[in-house]
Structure 1
Amino acid sequence: VEWAEPNYCRDKQLAVPNDPYFRSKGSWGQDYDDQWAIKRVGFTEDDEESAWALLPDEEDLKPVVVAVVDSGLDWNHADIAWESIWRNEDEIPGNNKDDDGNGYVDDVIGWNFIDDDNVPFDYDGHGTFVTGIIAAATNNGRGIAGLNPAVRIMVLKALNAFGHSRASFVAEAIFYAANNGARVINVSVGGRGLTRVEQEAVRYATSKGAIVVVASGNEGIETKDYGPAGIPEAFTVATTDIDDRRASFSNWGQAVDIAAPGVDVLSLRARRTDLMLGIPGIEYEAGKAFVGEDRRYYRASGSSFAAPIVSAVASLLLALHPEYTPTQVARLLTQNARDIEVPGWDQLTGYGLLDARAALRGDPDRWIEARVEGVGAVQQDGKVYIEVRGTADAGRFAGARIELAAPGTEAWKTVAQVERPVRRGRLALVPATHIDRPGEWRLRVVVRDAEGGERESRASLNIQ
C-alpha cells in the first residue's frame, strides 16, 4: 500500500438556496410558504425543476445592471451584499468632481433625484423592499433568497421619505439609468395622468437597449390615463394573488403585458421604516408587517412588488444572453407566460402569469401576438359592420381568423380572415348580419404561425 486517505463524500451542488425564509412557511401565521411569490413563477425547492437549475454557476453569469427607480436603498441591510450594488467605475469617490462628465458629481452607486445629491438612502422602505426581491443575498444562510445572484443594482432615488414624487423626477432617473448602462429599469411608481416627459424617458431608454418594467398600479382602474404604466413602450405588470387570479386592486387595461404575484410578498425592511404606516384608506397597526426576531424583513402587497419579480427574470435572461434586445426579452416573458383568467391576452393579466422556467428555455425568435384592442359598430357603403381592431402578428406569420360565438353557446364560427400581419390597426370588418339575436356575444382573433402554433385574444359584445 503506497498511500491511504479518507474517502470523503461527494454530493451534487444544489440549485436551491439555503436562505431560511425560502424554506419556511407560516412566519406570520399564513398557511403558505413565506416566499410563495417567487416559487409560483418557477423558483421552486425542487433542485431539478427550479428556474435556478437552468442557470450556470454564478461566476459564469454575466453581471446585469438593473436600475431601481424608487425611494432608495438601505445598503446597510445584512441581506444586501455590496457586490450586488452597481459601481460607476468612471467616477472617483469623494473628490467632489464630475469625473465622467455625466452631470452628476460623485454618483458612485446612483443618484438622489429628490435632494440632488449622491446619497440615495432609503427613508421610506419601498425601494429596499423592491430591491430585495431582485437582489437579496442568496445562499448566505440568512433571511430571504433574491432572484439574480449576478445583478448589479443602480440605486436611483426618485421618491421622498413618504413615498411621493413627481413625473419629472421619475423621468430624470430613467434617463440617467439609460445613459449609464442599465439593461433593466424597474419603476414601481405610478399615478393618474400620462406625461410627455415620462413617455420620452421610456422611449429613450428602450432605444438605448433597456427594458423598462413598470408596475400597473393599485387603484383597480384602467391604465389608459395612468402613468407611467399606460405608456405603450413600457412593459407593464399586473398583480396576481395566491389563487393565481388578478388581485382586486391591480390596475387593468390595454397596457398590461404580463402578471406576477404581488400579494403578501416577503422582502427586506429598511431600518426605521414601516412603509404601510400612514397610507390613506388602509387600516394598519404599526409594526404588524414586520417579520423575524430582528424585524428586518417585511411583508406587503401591491403591483410594486410584482414588477421586480419580472425585472429579475428579465435580468437573468440578459445574464445568459447579453445580446438580447428589449423586444426579445419582452417576447420571451410574454410568449412563455402561463395563461390565466380569460383565454389568450386579456386586459386583466396580459399574456398571463410569469413563468421563469419557460422564459429561460424560450426561443426569442418564435413568437405569436394576438390582441383585440377595440370592437365597435361602423357604417360603410350603407351597411353596418363590426370593426375589430388590434394586433395579429408572428415571427413567421401564417394567417389569422376572426371568430364569433353566439350567446349561451361554445361553438365558434369563423367570420373573417386576416391574411397579412396587423399591428394596432384594423383586423377586419365583420358584417353585422352575423349577429342575429340579443345577448352577450364573444369574439376572438386566433393567430397562427408557420410551425402550427396558435394564440388568441377575446372580447365581448353586449347586444340589446
Structure 2
Amino acid sequence: MRHFIIVVTVLGLIAGGPIALAARSQQPDTPRVVPPVTHPVGGYDQTSLLVRYKPDTPAAKKASAHRLLKASATRSSKLVPGLERIGLAPGMSVEKAVKILNKLPFVEYAHPNYRLHLDQVPPDDEYYLEQWALNNTGQASTFGAFFAGTPDADIDWLEARAMASGAGVVIAVLDTGIDYRHTDISANVWLNEAEVNGIEGVDDDGNGYIDDVRGWDFVNNDPFPLDGHGHGTMVAGIIAAVTGNTKGIAGVMPDGQVMALKVLSDAGIGLLSDAVDALEYAIDKGVRISNISWGYSEILPEELADHNALFDAMQAAQANNHLLIAAAGNENINTDSTPHYPSSFDLDNIIAVGAIDNLDELAWFSSYGTESVDIAAPGDLVMSVTKMFAGFLEDYSWGSGTSLAAPHVTGVAGLILELQPELSYLQIRNRILSTARTVPGLAGTSATGGIVNMYTALDGLPLLLVDIDVLPGDPANQVYPNKAGKLPVAVLSGPTFDATQVDPATLKFGAGQAAPADAPVIANVDGQYGDDTTVRFKVNQSGIVCDDTEVGLSGETYSGDQFVGADSIDASSCETGTCHPY
C-alpha cells in the first residue's frame, strides 16, 4: 500500500528561505480566497484568425478590412485563393474581429485560427489524473487535495508529449538530493558510467570525487546524494518521473535524466559554497541545464557584494552555455523592489519562475515582478514523487511553491535541448519566453505575463539558425539601452537561407521580445548571398540592459519555417537622453 501526504503548507518554501536556505512557513493566518475569472479559450490562437474573401475582391477592400481590425500582418494562401491569415493588434479580440469580418459583404467567411493537436492517449500512470499541471480538464483531486480547476490551465503536456521525451538530456537538480531508491524515478537518475564501470575507492573519471556514481552529496561530502527531506525528489519527479509504467506519475521529460547534487541538508539548509561546487560539477560533466528550487530574500541590495560568489558562478555558467531555471520565491512580494536570489540576479542565463494554481491564476504565495520574474508555471498543489516513507514504502505527495513550478519549465527546456542541441542557452531561454501562453490575469506579474507552454515551445523545432547583424557601426554594434531611438537589425541571407522570405510581422528581438517598429528594407547588407532584410526595433522596448553582450532574434519565413539568430553587442555605454541617431 502506498502512503500519501497532502501538503497543506507550501512545500516549496525552500525557494523563499533565508540566507542559509532554510525552509520556513509562509502560510497566512487566513488563506486568500481566489475569485474565479474568465479565462481565454484554449482551442485557438488569440492573436490571429483566418478569412477568405469572395472571388475578385479588390485589394482596396481587403485593405479596408485590415484597417477595421487594426491588423498587424497578413499572409495569403497560394493554395486557397482569397484565404488570408490576419494578425490582430493588441486589444482586438478574435471574437470581435470574426464578427466584424463576417458582416462585410465581400467576405466569404472568417473564423478563429484553431489549434491542431494529435489525438493523444493519456499515459497509464496510476495518479496521472492528479497531475492537473500536465493536463487540466477541470478535474478535482480524487483524494480531495484540490478542487475543480479551469480546463487547459496547464502546460499542454498531453498535446505535446509525442514531440519529444528528453532522451539523452541530463538535468542537474541542485537540491536536497534525490531518493533514487524510488522505482518511479530511479530508472531516470543519471549514472556516472566511468564510476559505474570503474574501481571502487578510485576517482575513475578524475574529477576529484571518488565513487560519484549518481552525483554527489556536497553537504556531507560523500557519494550518496540521497534525499532525506523529500523536496529534491519532488522536483526531480516533476522533471523526469518514469512514465507509462502503470504506477505513480508522469514526468515532463519521460526519458530524461536527473543528476542528484545534494546542496541542502535533510533539514533544508545549505551553504552557498556547496551550490557553487555543485554547479561546477554539473558543468564539468557537460550538463547544459540546472534546476534551482531554493533561494534567499533577506539581504539588502547594498549587501549583495557579500554574496557575489554565487552570482559569479552563475555568470561563469554563461560562458559554458549553461541555463539555470530558478524559483522566484514564495513570499508573495514584488521582487523588482525586494529581490529574491538567485532568481533576481541580472543574468540572461536565468529563467525566474512564478507559480499558478489550477484556475490559471497567480498562486497566493508566489512572488512576482515584471523585471525579476520571467514566466509562470503550475506550482499549487501539484503531485510528485517524494522520499520513501519509513525508508521502504514508495511515496507520493501534493506540494505547493515556486520550487515546484520551476521544474515544469526545466523539463520543457530539456525537451527543447533534445530536439535541437545546438541551440545556445539564450536561444532556449528566448524560445520558452516567446512561446508563453499569455493570460490577462497575469499581466504585470512577470516579463511575459504568461505560462510556459510545452506545445508551442516545441512546435516547429528544430529551428533554422541564421546570422543577424545589429547594424550601428561606429563603434560596431553599440547599443544605448536607455535611448528612445530605433535600432536596425539585419537578417542575413546565407547559402541555404533567403532573408527576403522573412515575415517581418513575426520577428521578435531582444530580451523584451520587441516587435518591428518600421517596414522592412531589402538590401545586400554584407555583400554576400544576395539581398538581406533589415527591420528597425524600438530600443526602449527591446529589453536590452547595460551589461548585455549578446542579443537574440526569432521569427518565421512566409512559408512558416521558424528561425533564430544572435549577435554580439556593446551595451556598456549607457547615457542619459531621449534619443540617439539610429
State the TM-score, normalized to the length of structure 2: 0.55
Measure the CA separation in 1 of the matches of 2:170 and 2:151. 23
User: Per the alignment, do residues 93 and 164 of structure 1 end up closer, same or farther by CA in structure 2, a change over 3 Å counting?
Assistant: farther
What is the alpha-carbon distance in structure 2 between the residues aligned to residue 337 and residue 135 of structure 1? 21
- 1:203 aligned to 2:203? no
CA distance in 2, matches of 1:72, 1:449: 40
Equivalent pair of 2:191/2:213 in contact (CA under 8 Å): yes
Matched residues in 1 for 2:281 and 2:333: separation?
30
Query: Structure 1 residues 342 and 264 mapped into 2: Cα distance closer, same or farther (>3 Å)?
Result: closer
Matched to 1:85, the amino acid is V
Report the alpha carbon displacement of residue 204 of structure 1 after superposing the two structures with TM.
2.1
Please name the residue that 1:78 is paired with: 183
The amino acid of 2:434's aligned partner reads Q
C-alpha RMSD of matched pairs (Å): 3.8
Alpha-carbon offset, residue 23 of structure 1: 3.3
Letter in 2 for 1:356: M
Shift of 1:15: 4.9
Offset at 1:387?
A: 8.9
Q: What is the alpha-carbon distance in structure 1 between the residues aligned to residue 557 and residue 420 of structure 2?
A: 24
- TM-score, normalised to structure 1, is 0.68
Q: Which amino acid aligns with 1:146?
A: G
Change in CA separation of 1:449 and 1:176 when aligned onto 2, cut-off 3 Å: closer
Instruction: Work out whether residues 145 and 398 of structure 2, in 8 Å CA contact, stay in contact via their aligned partners in 1.
Output: no
- 1:29 corresponds to: 144
Judge conservation of contact 2:353–2:373 (CA < 8 Å) in 1. yes
Deviation at residue 223 of structure 1 after TM alignment: 3.0
| Aligned mates of 1:100, 1:170 — CA distance in 2 | 21
Contact kept in structure 2, 1:62 and 1:322, CA below 8 Å:
no
Q: Following the alignment from structure 1 to structure 2, what is the Cα–Cα distance between the partners of residues 251 and 396?
A: 25
Between the aligned partners of 1:196 and 1:151, the Cα distance in structure 2 is 32
Which structure shows the bigger proportion of residues in strand conformation?
Answer: 1
Q: Give the structure 2 partner of residue 266 of structure 1.
A: 383
Shift of 1:177: 1.0
Choose 323-332 or 349-358, whichever is displaced more: 349-358
Counterpart position of 2:415: 316
State how many pairs are aligned. Answer: 358
What is the aligned partner in structure 1 of residue 404 from structure 2? 305
Match of 2:206 among 98, 101, 111: 101
Change (3 A) 1:39 1:76: farther
Q: Are 1:122 and 1:161, in contact at CA under 8 Å, matched by a contact in 2?
A: yes
**Alignment-derived partner of residue 354 in structure 1:** 452
Superimposed CA distance per residue, residues 364-384 of structure 1 (whole angstroms, 9 cap, x where no aligned partner): 5799xxxxxxxxxxxxxxxxx
2:344 to 204, 212, 230: 230
Q: Which runs of 5+ in 1 are unaligned?
A: 1-11, 45-49, 275-293, 368-385, 401-416, 427-446, 453-464
Once residues 175 and 351 of structure 1 are traced to their aligned partners in structure 2, the CA distance between those partners, rounded to angstroms, is 32
Q: Secondary structure of the equivalent of 2:259?
A: strand
CA contact (8 A) 1:120 1:156 kept: yes
1:212 aligns with 2:331: no
AA in 2 matched with 1:298: S
* Per-residue deviation, residues 174-217 of structure 1 (Å, max 9, x unmatched): 12111112121001011124521111221222321221100001
Deviation at 1:62, TM superposition (A): 3.9
Assess, with a 3 A threshold, how the Cα gap between structure 1 residues 212 and 273 changes in structure 2: closer, same or farther.
farther
Shift of 1:451: 8.0
Segment drifting more, 85-94 vs 305-314: 85-94
C-alpha separation between the residues in 2 aligned to 1:149 and 1:124?
Answer: 24
Say whether the 8 Å CA contact 1:79–1:142 is kept in structure 2.
yes
Query: Is 1:89 equivalent to 2:203 in the alignment?
Result: no
Aligned twin of 1:54: 163
Deviations 1:244-284 (A, max 9, x none): 1212221222121111010001001202489xxxxxxxxxx
| Residues 448 and 145 of structure 1: CA distance in aligned 2, closer, same or farther (over 3 Å) | closer
Match for residue 430 of structure 1? none
**CA 1:352–1:168 in structure 2 vs 1: closer, same or farther (change >3 Å)?**
same
Task: Give the equivalent residue in structure 2 for 1:398.
Answer: 516
Residue number in structure 2 paired with 1:444: none
Q: Corresponding residue for 1:330?
A: 429
Using the TM superposition, give the Cα deviation of residue 79 of structure 1 relative to its aligned residue in structure 2, in angstroms.
1.0
CA offset at residue 169 of structure 1?
1.6
**% identity of equivalent residues:** 32
Measured in 2, the distance between the counterparts of 1:183 and 1:28 equals: 37
Please give the secondary structure, in 2, of the residue aligned with 1:298: strand
Aligned to 1:241: 357
- Please state whether the residue corresponding to 1:164 is helix, strand or coil: coil
| CA gap 1:159/1:38 in 2 versus in 1, 3 angstroms | farther
Contact 1:67–1:186 at 8 Å: present in 2 too? yes
Task: Tell me, in whole angstroms, the C-alpha distance in 2 between the residues paired with 1:128 and 1:419.
Answer: 43
How far apart in 2 are the matches of 1:75 and 1:295? 11
CA contact (8 A) 1:335 1:351 kept: no
| SS state at 2:439 partner | coil
Deviations 1:218-262 (A, max 9, x none): 112233532111112211101111221212221222121111010
